[in-house]
Structure 1
Amino acid sequence: MVIARVIDSPSGTQVMPIDTLRDSVRMAAGLTDNKLLDQKAITRGLAAIHRFGDRLRGFKPKQVRAVATNTLRVARNADSFIEEAEKLLGFPIEVIKGREEARLIYIGASHDAPACSGRRFVLDIGGGSTEFIIGDGYEPKLLESLYIGCVSYSQDFFPGGLVDAHSFKQAEISARREIQAITSQFLKAGWKQSIGSSGTARAIAELIAQNGFNGPPHDLPVDDMGGVITKDALLALKQSLIESEYIDRSELLGLKNDRRPVLPGGLAIMLAAFEELGIERMEVTEAALRLGVLYDLIGRSQHHDMRYVTVEQFMQRYGVDRQQANRVSNAAIFFLNQFAKPKYENRKDNEQILSWAAKLHEIGLSITHNGYHKHSAYIATHADMPGFSKLDQARLAALLLGHTGKLGKISVTSNYIDWRMLFSLRLAHVLCRRRADEKIDEIIVKEQEGGFVIKVPKEWVKKNPLTQFGLEKESTDWKKIGRELTIQVF
């Protein structure tokens, strides 16, 4: 966990870390063969989260962002863990997709890495996944996340801490096979500078420096002369581990106990990346995901939210009728704001999600008109959407799926549905069916026990018989799932 102070200057905004809490939990080591977190990993994770929550006491919701990565992307019992962890932390936890993790890593690394006049390549080896990014300046251009990590590879190829030439060969071949899927596009894009970010790269750079695998031994910090990894140094480090036979017997200077169990797997992946991508030299930065999350959080507070950019790109990609999208968005928010604000609701966040759902509700039309809402929801669920967490995408997809058609397809117990938001979107969709600007300011909505009420002027009903028919059909659809929709004419 990183706590930082935001400093504004005429040249831009800078994040200055003022406190760091680090707890080696190794969640990935607790994944069983059937992708369940075991109780030991859960206990370790919750204990760390509890300590972090104590430090964050007094922070406001908009000052904190917590993200979860690969282990909680794949764990089948991730939801129950996150539910308990959020109570201890006091803030929501977002599970982010691999490419979103890569984007945030690049943002963090690019703000801390040495200046570069051309494109830079960033490699981040984590516990269960490894991110590969090419970017220009502070903007990532090419992002990939592969399911190869230092924890999983150490467990799979170096059981019991046994390190020998055969194990390294098998681990490197496996990692190269995974990396080959992205090799051609990365080599085609090209780069001038290679950066290794975060824990594995830093640990390897420190071992190389302190043990003299890349020149005279020294103990300089990795952000100085110590932060360089070369191919020859990696091979020397590998040979040293092989000679020790077991990682616990290694007498390498600077090898920390918490790094021993995962070093062989991380080193094998690093070697595979160097070989497959033709890397000879890599600089190292401590900054990565955590710093990237902070800069992204600042962007959201300063209205540079990446999610707005993503929605705009999707509208363009899928040929959305922008006028209609804006009509539906404005109408949906108009209705949502008529409801009382519940005690535990962030109305602004809900408005954003609802507006994005309205603007993207027709993206499925690019595939087919019949059942287009299902295609819209599928795209929102499975597409890479930079800036969006998995929960954001799940909420968005649920609204897209439910904005038209039968409501029975939406689970009544769904955790991703705010029924007032869905009601507002469906009502906006019905009222804007003519695809022309409609006068809706006299329409009143409110929540009642077990459903909703719509109040419409008598004159409006006379002028809009088709819309009245649509409202009556809506009433029937809501009744089928056990919710009342009452239409009152005044």
Structure 2
Amino acid sequence: MEAATAPHHRLLAAVDVGTNSFKLLVACALPSGRLLALDRLKEPVLLGRGRLPDGSLSPDTLLRALAALRSFDAALRPLPLHGPPRLVATSAVRDAPNRADLLSIVRSDLGLDVEVLSGEEEARLIYLGVLQFLPVYGKSVLTVDIGGGSTEFVVGKRGEVQFATSLNLGHVSLTESFIKNGTLVDLRRHIRSALRQSPLIKIRELGFEVAVGSSGTIRSIERAIFLSGYDDLMSSREFSREWRFSREDLRLLVDKLLGLGLGDVEGVRRLGFSKKRGEFIVAGGVLLLEIFEALGIENMEVSGYALGEGVISEMLASECMDFDVNANVRWQSVIGLAMRFDSDNRMKLAARCVGIAKELFDGIRRCGDLTNCLSKAAICLDEKDFEYLEAAILLHNIGLLIDKKGYHKRSYKIIKNGGHLHGYSSEEIEIVALLARFHRKKFPRADQGSLKECSEEMKKKIRVLCAIMRISLALQKCQCVIFQGLEIFHTGGVFKLVLSKLKDHLLVSHDVQLKSETIEAELRPELDHFKEVFQQKICVTISSANIEKSAQVL
């Protein structure tokens, strides 16, 4: 696992000890209560499978659980975490008669405590996670999270929980009890009976303005529904992914799943589900459709954040008196859009690049007046400018979901025309879109047609920010160097980019000058663009005094 943070950012970790899988989240706590998920690991432990007759976790299951947590601990050990990770367990551990055995071996082996959540507490934390992803703080929100052993329901508004409950209905437990025996009729009957006998009538009485799904099952259903209409979307001029679906969309997908017949793994995969998810998706889809019917849900939005992010939000809130659970709406819309078009961990790579860009941006600001560098026209970079740069880096590759060829132009169109960014003016959206558009290929000229609507000062800023962005992306992709420290200096009319704390196995020789020349050669096009903008040379050097054998990766 690799992670990067700027100096004033804190690195936090949470582990969701779930029924189907264990999930590790490493997130960066940014100023103003913002969260940026940097890395995720997942281990398919399947606590809900192979239980003893009394419902206890078997010895083999306990060993699998411990092995997964050991792998997480090994991944976290090199990271500069702000405090120990928080481990929370859900229904499989909650319901196990011998749960104390798991807690005991984890504490003795790893020195970590596992907190067993009640169903209501789990629901509350999921709601907190949703609030970090979707701009729904002021609305009455129903959140539904389908896990392996239970489903959590919570109605909240303005950060306060109005109702929360947990039902013992999960996609793994339902699959084990019904799907594998081929009893779909019994599955529906069981779910409907459980919903009727549950306290969900309270949700009907309270009402809600928006329904949100937050689990992996619901996200995979949304993806399959999205892919089913992919050709129609591609045939239109506008490409948009809303990350929501209707009851009718869900019904059509469930009908397709049921029409395949049990055990048709290839058929399930053709509908857009992974092999691991496909094993449980029939039960998950039928359950979600019955929930739609029981609660009168017509449309559901999908959150990329859930329990893990809720746990980290609460960790922040306990430490910071001024932590605002109503996270920045602009930030939420950027993260939401980035994750909607994310695949192949590109979001994770972009998040690392933000750390590099922040060091470059702050270093250039520290160099003082840029008047002499920018054709005698002074500009002043501020935090708002970095916000545009940060958003553009996180969004620059979203067009790759469609096709690699010309993806930067497609990213520009999605950002500019998709209506996804909330809280930004049309000019600000244009700035972010332009930075994404020019992160590769041709560098924007001052007289570029795309920049005509911008003020003269903003044209110069866009070129400056573009130069910083392109060097940051090139450094992040650089195959010949992995580093932790980065500083920029300005002396004698030359910008000097100093890299430190390199991993020593990458130094094929200790000739630091040779290594600097290799890096410069790989970054040459972007260094030339930087020189064109600033009218001054920039060189890359390696700080030989800080080469370490086991440095953290930036």
TM-score band by shorter chain is 0.5 to 0.7
How far apart, CA to CA, are the structure 2 residues paired with 1:227 and 1:26? Answer: 28
The partner residue of 1:265 within 268, 283, 287 is 283
**Is contact 2:258–2:282 with CA below 8 Å preserved after alignment?**
no
Tell me the residue number matched to 1:104. Answer: 125
Tell me the residue number matched to 1:295. Answer: 313
Amino acid at match of 1:170: D
Following superposition, the deviation at residue 178 of structure 1 comes to 2.0
How far apart, CA to CA, are the structure 2 residues paired with 1:155 and 1:174? Answer: 13
How far apart, CA to CA, are the structure 2 residues paired with 1:184 and 1:159? Answer: 31
Q: Secondary structure at the match of 1:94?
A: strand
How far apart, CA to CA, are the structure 2 residues paired with 1:135 and 1:295? Answer: 16
**Is contact 2:246–2:298 with CA below 8 Å preserved after alignment?**
yes
Q: Secondary structure at the match of 2:132?
A: helix
1:146 and 2:167 matched: yes
Pair 32,286 (structure 1): closer, same or farther in 2 beyond 3 Å: farther
Structure 2: 5+ residue stretches without partners: 1-23, 235-239, 324-554
**Is contact 1:52–1:89 with CA below 8 Å preserved after alignment?**
no
Over the matched positions of the two proteins, sequence identity in percent amounts to: 29
TM-score, normalised to structure 1's length?
0.56
How far apart, CA to CA, are the structure 2 residues paired with 1:266 and 1:226? Answer: 21
Tell me the residue number matched to 2:241. Answer: 225
Tell me the residue number matched to 1:204. Answer: 221
Tell me the residue number matched to 2:76. Answer: 56
How far apart, CA to CA, are the structure 2 residues paired with 1:71 and 1:29? Answer: 10
**Is contact 1:205–1:226 with CA below 8 Å preserved after alignment?**
no
Moved over 3 A (4+): 58-63, 86-90, 114-117, 214-218
Following superposition, the deviation at residue 304 of structure 1 comes to 8.5
Pair 304,105 (structure 1): closer, same or farther in 2 beyond 3 Å: farther
1:65 and 2:81 matched: no
**Is contact 1:209–1:217 with CA below 8 Å preserved after alignment?**
no
Tell me the residue number matched to 2:202. Answer: 185
**Deviation by residue 1:136-185 (Cα, 9 ceiling, x = unmatched):** 1322221111111111011111016x4xxxx3343233222222222321
Tell me the residue number matched to 1:168. Answer: 184
Q: Secondary structure at the match of 2:31?
A: strand
**Is contact 1:73–1:97 with CA below 8 Å preserved after alignment?**
yes
Tell me the residue number matched to 1:15. Answer: 35
Pair 82,61 (structure 1): closer, same or farther in 2 beyond 3 Å: farther
Amino acid at match of 1:94: E
Following superposition, the deviation at residue 61 of structure 1 comes to 7.9
How far apart, CA to CA, are the structure 2 residues paired with 1:72 and 1:244? Answer: 33
1:30 and 2:53 matched: no
**Deviation by residue 1:211-240 (Cα, 9 ceiling, x = unmatched):** 23x99367xxxxx72522321122222221
**Is contact 2:131–2:137 with CA below 8 Å preserved after alignment?**
no
Pair 60,5 (structure 1): closer, same or farther in 2 beyond 3 Å: closer
How far apart, CA to CA, are the structure 1 residues paired with 2:122 and 2:97? Answer: 20
TM-score, normalised to structure 2's length?
0.49
Structure 1: 5+ residue stretches without partners: 219-223, 306-490
Following superposition, the deviation at residue 60 of structure 1 comes to 5.9
Amino acid at match of 1:42: L
Pair 178,217 (structure 1): closer, same or farther in 2 beyond 3 Å: farther
The number of aligned residues is 291
Q: Secondary structure at the match of 1:185?
A: helix
Q: Secondary structure at the match of 1:259?
A: helix
Amino acid at match of 1:186: I
Q: Please identify, of 177-186 and 201-210, the stretch whose mean Cα deviation from structure 2 is larger.
A: 177-186
Amino acid at match of 1:37: L
Pair 255,89 (structure 1): closer, same or farther in 2 beyond 3 Å: farther
The partner residue of 1:256 within 248, 251, 274 is 274
Tell me the residue number matched to 2:27. Answer: 4
Tell me the residue number matched to 1:403. Answer: none
